Amino acid sequence: MKRLTASCGLALALSMPAAQAVNQEIRALFRPDSSQPNKNVFINQTPNSGYCAEYPGECAENSMFSIQLPFRFTASRFLGAGEGIPLKVPANWRRLTVTNVDTQETEVVEVRISGIGSKFYLSESAAKLVGVSDILEGHQKLWTNKSWVYASAPCQYSGVGFYSPETYRFFWKTPVEAACVKVAAYFIPDIYFDTLDVAYELRTPNPLGMSSGLYTGSMAYRVGPSGDFDFGQTLLPNDGNLTLDFVLDVQHTLKVDIPPGGNNVTLEPVGGWAPWLDSGRKPTRIFRDQLFYISASSRFKVLMLCNSTGGTACKMGSQEGNSSDFEVFMSLPAGISGPGGPGANVTRHPLRFNVWAGPFQPGLYVDRKPGTLHFEMTPFAIDFLLRPGVTDRLRGNVTVIWDSDV
């Protein structure tokens, strides 16, 4: 008999499942919207489950999202009259670090639990426990401060409460991190809470300052007595750990459009060449301003490549052997700051051969706004080129690269 008892005990121990942490992914996306260029925020992409799925209007009014988690809180013993069930959740803002999986850049995300709910089951009807026949009256009298649709302070009423003879579904808002205690007015032989609805709020970084890609990070919570999610000493969870895995997806836009024919730039004096050809009056400027349109939601840099020995000068030449220098400058639309910092407008910023310029940082999503590439010969080049008896056509190539990989 002793051997049989020991053997059964061993078999029972081996068959008990090990506790596994509950993991829940929270995903948010930033993708610039041309219809709302000033809306530089992440949009929650995690499907609502539980409270917000059933009552989307309530959550939309309060900018809340909810998830239903597979936790079950079971009473370890009866609940006597005058004993309470405290509900406490991590309602204060907590910080975690998310890391770009490609660049290893880091940002800070803040999260708070803004609501808590569940559905509890009684071993027998509430009406029977309090000695009445009406179902609602039974639930009202079973607790000293009415039924569970009425939140205990400092938790707040959410307008949700559905019941059957033995069950009650509720949801409370949690403005502060403190225990909200519901006190039994009668003896309750057994009670358990099936599933856990959690509403959450996020504070995310400004996506315009982030690189494209996925940023990931996790927040771990303890569940159970004296934990982050605490239903008191009597109600024990089937799992003691919860991890929220955050994924921020940043999908930036960087696009530059040049009007048709804009890839062929002709440098000319103001008013054309007639004053020089007709009267030999040397122009003070030979240039061309070329328009382009830029859409940008993140910082970027710019590189110029040309025939150059370095610096800002690019060369153009002819088959006759004549050559001249010109420079390239760039102006960007309002809303994009230069290396001087926020508010530093980019006007005629000089581009240097094979040297990245920038970074340039949009303060908001810039959607197809005009910028300008300024091509201009230097005064020395004008004096050298425009000599009596010289007639020629000079050509050169310039490549300008806009790159968001800063």
The two tokens of residue 291 are 């328009």
User: Which residue in the block uniquely carries the two structure tokens 């000293």?
Assistant: 144
Is pTM beyond 0.85? Reply is no
Residue 98 pLDDT: 97
For the stretch 210-227, pLDDT in tens is 888 999 999 999 999 999
The pLDDT confidence band at residue 183, using thresholds 50, 70 and 90, is very high
Pairwise CA distance, residues 279 & 17, whole Å: 98
Pairwise CA distance, residues 141 & 132, whole Å: 9
Which amino acid, one-letter code, is at 278?
A: D
Residue 389 pLDDT: 66
Which has more pLDDT, 194 or 64? 194
Residue 117 pLDDT: 93
Exposure string of 105-138, with b = 16+ CB inside 10 Å and e = fewer, is eebebebbbbbbbbbbebeebbbebbebeeeeeb
Q: What is the DSSP string of 207-242?
A: GGGS-SEEEEEEEEEEBSTTSSBB-TTTEEES-SEE
Which amino acid, one-letter code, is at 103?
A: T
Domains, the chain: 22-250 (no CATH), 254-403 (2.60.40)
For the stretch 325-343, pLDDT in tens is 999 999 999 989 988 777 7
Cβ 145 vs Cβ 152: under 8 Å: yes
> Which residues, in sequence order, are bridge partners of residue 153?
none
Which has more pLDDT, 310 or 186? 186
Average pLDDT over residues 77-104: 96
